[in-house]
């Protein structure tokens, strides 16, 4: 069994959401990135969590980083 990969991204409403690697819907949402990270770690303790950087540092979106 492989580890789940969970991606945390900003939402259009100003909060943050976490999705499975190929998921369409958020499995966890919260108003802050830190709150989403905490909830994901509780709900999916064996998952690899990747967080979208929320800054623009060049042409195109920034990359994800592991938590």
Per-residue pLDDT tens digits for 29-52: 999 999 999 999 999 999 999 988
pLDDT of residue 1: 38
Mean pLDDT of the chain: 85
Say if residues 47 and 8 touch (Cβ distance below 8 Å). Answer: no
Q: Can you read off the two tokens belonging to residue 64?
A: 């994800």
Q: pTM of the prediction?
A: 0.76
Report the pLDDT averaged over residues 52-59. Answer: 66
**What is the percent of the chain with per-residue pLDDT over 90, rounded to a whole number?**
57
Higher-confidence residue of 4 and 62: namely: 4
Closest CA to 11 of 38, 41, 47, 35: 35
């Amino acid at each position: 069994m492989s580890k789940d990969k969970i991606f945390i991204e900003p939402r259009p409403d100003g909060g943050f959401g976490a999705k499975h690697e190929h998921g369409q819907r958020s499995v966890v949402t919260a108003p802050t990135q830190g709150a989403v990270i905490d909830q994901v770690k509780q709900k999916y303790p064996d998952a690899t969590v990747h967080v979208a950087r929320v800054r623009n540092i060049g042409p195109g979106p920034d990359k994800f980083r592991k938590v």
